Amino acid sequence: MLPALSPFTPQDGEDFVWRHVEKTIRTPAGMWRQLTPATNLALDPHTREVMIKAVPPPSHSRYPSNSEAQILAHLSSPELRQHPENHTIPVMSIIECERATFLVQARWGGWWFGDAPCSIRFWAGVQAVQLLEGLAFMHERGIIHGDIYTCNIVCNFNARRTRPAPCRVFEEFKKSGNYRVAFIDFGQAMQFDLDSSSNGLGSSFSHGFNDRSDAHLQMRLPHTDIRAAPPHPRIEMPTPRPIRGPPDEFRAPEIDNCTTYDPFAADVFSVARLLLDLDPPLEIPAEYQALLEDMTNVDPRARPSARRTLERLQAISKIRSADWV
């Protein structure tokens, strides 16, 4: 089966990913072990690998309109799925049952630590651009991910490997122009109404909402240009520290240190740390380092928005591309 020409909108006769299988002995656990109590591998009717994730149904959630299933259903709607900046993992179907909702998602590949460091061309011109496009796309629709780190980012290349060493086929794939990156695991995601004038968030809501109607929480925004807007919507979420979320090295310090925090700025912080974790170049030019420093500023109000970060990255790369090798 040939890989999908457009991995975010695969056709029935196309595989979700590009594949590479090393000629090695399989581990005793095999390839089809259960990943977590709530996540399993399966095959769809076209014999493609899918992930089936069990999540609480909206009716069992304290905030039905902000459940993982509802947010992914919105991001996977026909209108948004076709958008070139939508870097959400393809959701093939959502099966609603009485006690659980099952998300059937395309299975993409993760990262293997030990791969060769990225070239600056790939790191800045491909990987960083796609991550920031996807983040800006979500943020401009009022959606924060809330759990951005290495394990929640996948790409459309799935390699069966048994050792942490550079993979020649993957290195060639990164240069092919077919590489795509996607966000997964929206269990901590939330959707805010950016049009509301009442975004001061009450402490009665553990994730930052006071009690409002579902219609208010389930806002829908068209694609808008927010370059003239403030760096981030002034939305604050009360702590204490989330039960789950990104590990310490990816988590914005204000989440643990402040009474309230801006979840949009926290996402920007996490993406900067992510870029330094995904096999970065051995030497990062000063302009990019300055951008990363701004994204991880200890003052969240000083961090650029995802859209502004993307525009600044592209401006730097336009100047630096002549030096790329």
Residues near 306 by Cβ (< 8 Å), separated by ≥ 6?
Answer: 132, 135, 136, 139, 264, 267, 268, 271
Smallest Cα–Cα separation from 86: which of 178, 8, 15, 146? Answer: 8
Q: Looking at 47-56, 89-98, 102-111, 254-263, which range is the least confident one?
A: 254-263
Task: In whole angstroms, give the CA distance from residue 130 to residue 23.
Answer: 32
Tally DSSP H helices, then E strands, for the chain: 10, 12
Q: What angle do CA 184, 271, 69 make, to 5 degrees?
A: 25
Smallest Cα–Cα separation from 217: which of 186, 191, 189, 237? Answer: 191
Task: In whole angstroms, give the CA distance from residue 303 to residue 196.
Answer: 23
Please check the confidence at residue 28 and state whether its pLDDT lies above 50.
Answer: no
Please check the confidence at residue 72 and state whether its pLDDT lies above 90.
Answer: yes
Task: In whole angstroms, give the CA distance from residue 208 to residue 236.
Answer: 7
- Mean pLDDT across the stretch 7-33? 64
Parallel, antiparallel, or unpaired: how do β-strands 190-191 and 143-144 relate? antiparallel
Which contiguous run of DSSP H or E holds residue 266? helix 263-275
Distances in Å between the alpha carbon of 156 and those of 174, 189, 211, 267? 10, 22, 40, 23
Please check the confidence at residue 22 and state whether its pLDDT lies above 70.
Answer: no
Task: In whole angstroms, give the CA distance from residue 128 to residue 236.
Answer: 26
> Which tokens go with 153?
């980012």
Residue 167 has a pLDDT of 79
Please check the confidence at residue 51 and state whether its pLDDT lies above 60.
Answer: yes
Q: Which long-range contacts (CB under 8 A, 24 or more apart) does 121-126 make?
A: 121/321, 121/324, 121/325, 122/174, 122/175, 122/179, 123/275, 123/278, 123/280, 123/281, 123/284, 124/288, 124/313, 124/316, 124/317, 124/320, 125/317, 125/321, 125/324, 126/174, 126/179
Please check the confidence at residue 242 and state whether its pLDDT lies above 60.
Answer: no
Q: Looking at 48-62, 85-99, 293-307, which range is the least confident one?
A: 48-62
> Are the C-beta atoms of 225 and 218 separated by less than 8 Å?
no
- Mean pLDDT across the stretch 27-46? 65
- Mean pLDDT across the stretch 92-120? 86
Task: In whole angstroms, give the CA distance from residue 52 to residue 44.
Answer: 10
User: How confident is residue 269, by pLDDT bands cut at 50, 70 and 90?
Assistant: very high
Smallest Cα–Cα separation from 127: which of 281, 297, 245? Answer: 281
Task: In whole angstroms, give the CA distance from residue 201 to residue 2.
Answer: 48
Residue 228 has a pLDDT of 32
Residue 61 has a pLDDT of 66
> Are the C-beta atoms of 252 and 263 separated by less than 8 Å?
no
